[in-house]
Amino acid sequence: MTAENRSLKGTVVAITGASSGIGRETARLLVESGAKVVLGARRLDRLEDLVSELGSDNAVAVKMDVTKSADNKDLVAKAVSTFGKLDSIVANAGIGYYGGIADNTDEDLINMINVNFLGTVFTVRAAIPEFRKSHGGDIVIVSSVAGFRGGANEAVYAGTKFAQVGLSGAIDRELSPEGVRVTTICPAGTKTEFAIGAGRTEGDPALDEYMSPVDVAFQIVTSLQQPRRLRTGIWTTWSMAQSS
């Protein structure tokens, strides 16, 4: 018996933080799978380069800031106006400031909390009206294993990831009766620009032991390819070299 696989051909997926790393690789894998993608991020030049690579028939770019509710609504509106619908949304935008609890400025910590948590809330809220119109959809929240066991040098960052995990569990229980699946992807360290963050240095040999952004993108796409009768609540992953 062959395992059932849900086709993504013709589905429309919006992705925040799509200009690099996990978001960019997710867009590439989704288009390979036949989906249309709506790419949101602050760096429009990078998004436009990605659209050129993927093809304007398959992708559209939206300059946005996830901490602004209106920008998230604009992302969803662009999906509907360009491709006629929205099937899934990937809340991937995030930022990391590392160090002890007394390190970093108040402004940097406020920004991280707003991007990582409030930005996720606004992204989810923007998608819900479209999912309710179509009686279903997928929400994928890219969190972190730090949402389960924060390290000594990432207390505030881990707090934002714990918040994402709590949010996703609650909205899963709220929305699953309406046909909306909520998946939380929780990777360990991943070799992206984000992994450098503040308090880490480029070229750190530890980064070579991290997962690649394609590894995490694979998780996201696989969760969307599950039959509609199934849902994955939380998916945690480490590389073989990383401690769990």
58 DSSP 8-state letter: T
> CA 85, CA 77: separation in Å to the nearest integer?
9
The string over 109-130, giving b where at least 16 C-beta atoms fall within 10 Å of a residue's C-beta and e elsewhere, is: beebbbbbbbbbbbbbebbbeb
In the block, which residue shows the tokens 């992708």? 59
Q: Please check whether residue 215 is in contact with residue 240, taking contact to mean a CB–CB distance below 8 angstroms.
A: no
Bin 162: left if φ > 0, else alpha if -120 < ψ < 50, else beta.
alpha
Residue 157 bears catalytic tag: yes
Instruction: Please pick, among 97, 98, 157, 210, the residue that the annotation labels catalytic.
Output: 157
> CA 117, CA 17: separation in Å to the nearest integer?
14
> CA 244, CA 239: separation in Å to the nearest integer?
9
Q: Please check whether residue 42 is in contact with residue 36, taking contact to mean a CB–CB distance below 8 angstroms.
A: no
DSSP 208-238: GGSBPHHHHHHHHHHHHTS-TT---SEEEE-
Active site residues: 157
